Amino acid sequence: MVQQLISEQLVILLNGLSGAATLFLLGTGLSLIYGMLNFLNLAHAAFLPLGAYLAASLVHATVDAVGGSLGFVGLFVVFLVLLLVVVPAVVSAIGLVMERTAFKPLYGLEDDYQLLATFGIILMMEDAMKFIWSGEPVSATAPSNLLGTFTLPGGTYPWWSVLTILVTALVAGTLYYFFEETRLGKITLAMAEDEEAVSFAGIDTRSIHLKVFVIGIALAALGGALYLPTASMTTGLALEFVILAFAVLVIGGLGSLKGAIAASLTIGMVQAYGAYYVPVLELALVFLLMAVVMLIKPTGLFGEIEA
């Protein structure tokens, strides 16, 4: 009985951390882009399913091409390169093209115009993904099947979810080092405070804008690539991810890395415990949490911008 209870709580905890990892990778990019560029981009969430769809195609093509000929280590390395490097790089390149053509004209507009325009873009991106991948749910469980599962009292749990948590923790640590210790990171933070002063120092702020935008898109694509091996993806999920990404933004605070980490962990745990104990209220609990935070601290847990 006690072992069963411990096992249940451990599974809920791991599910919460795994969910938080996906939300962190998606929400942090959105928070960085809004906090640094003052650009409220609803379409940001569409880059997560785009990364997942691309990951599915690459995984299936790899399995068809090489199958088991590479062995465990060789195939695992290939999967890591595809999901952690190739997918974020390709989706970032697509995002960079869209930044120059579709998003750049929206910079400087009021938030409501940006919301309406980027909502139209997310619908167009969804239609494009339906056209390319036929709108059918996709999955690619080969990476997760390769790693297998570990045993818990009363069940098993996939190693891939643990890997997702570890990779996301590494990404969070790298981002923290980037913003706190590197010159480019400190310039980026300074731009969020006073971009005009940074430009007077002779720094190419447009170049910084592009770098932050690409980092944000790469994080969303990585979230999709890591999410796919233990789940399926449909284009309609982009709208659900939009809501969750904005929950991270609102609860954590605009442009705050610490806020994104805290909000992702909190929402991930609320969703995991909600899904286990009161599944019909899973999303409602997230909205309730968001409302409570807005009532107590409208700028979010770590936000410093006046609401």
Q: Exposed, middle or buried: residue 189 (CB in 10 Å: 0-12, 13-18, 19+)?
A: middle
pLDDT in tens, 166-221: 999 999 999 989 888 888 888 887 877 777 777 787 788 888 888 889 999 999 99
pLDDT for 307 beyond 60:
no
76-91 core/surface letters (b: 16 or more CB in 10 A; e: else): eebbeebbeebbbebb
pLDDT in tens, 277-302: 988 888 889 889 999 998 988 888 88
pLDDT in tens, 119-156: 899 989 989 998 998 878 888 899 999 999 998 876 78
Q: Exposed, middle or buried: residue 245 (CB in 10 Å: 0-12, 13-18, 19+)?
A: buried
Average pLDDT of the chain to the nearest whole number: 87
DSSP 154: T
User: What whole-number distance in Å separates Cα of residue 261 and Cα of residue 32?
Assistant: 12
pLDDT score recorded for residue 304: 65
